[in-house]
Amino acid sequence: MVRLPLTPAELERGQRLGALLREARGERSMLATALDARVSPETLRKIESGRVATPAFPTIAAIADVLGLSLDAVWAEINQPVRAVGSVAPASRHVSG
């Protein structure tokens, strides 16, 4: 089976996920976090660096649990809409007649 290349959006989500996990881990060692989550330290390092942009759900669930993150919070963080640099959300206009 051939794996299709990841889309730019998938790569961006992977980067956001890695940043979220690194921030949540804080000063805790990567080794202790990985062992508590029952994943290899190399797997955690690859996820945190964005090299594994689409990790398996059970892996993320285990890491999130160890770090005290809800899966809802993880999902919300990694699925934020992407905006171009310098773009501004359109202002709503009210036209009076």
Assess if residue 87 is contained within a domain.
no
The pLDDT value recorded for residue 27 is: 95
pLDDT tens per residue across span 50-95? 999 899 999 999 999 999 999 999 999 988 875 544 444 444 444 4
Assess if residue 13 is contained within a domain.
yes
- List b or e across 74-94, with b for residues whose CB sees 16 or more CB atoms inside 10 angstroms: beebbeeeeeeeeeeeeeeee
Domain that holds residue 40: 8-78
Assess if residue 71 is contained within a domain.
yes
Assess if residue 88 is contained within a domain.
no
The pLDDT value recorded for residue 1 is: 75
The pLDDT value recorded for residue 3 is: 79
Tokens of 21: 């996990």
pLDDT tens per residue across span 2-50? 878 889 999 999 999 999 999 999 999 999 999 999 999 999 999 999 9
CATH number of the domain that 67 lies in?
Answer: 1.10.260.40
d(CA 66, CA 68): 6
Assess if residue 49 is contained within a domain.
yes
Domain total of the chain = 1
Assess if residue 84 is contained within a domain.
no
Distance, CA of 80 to chain centre: 10
Length of the chain: 97
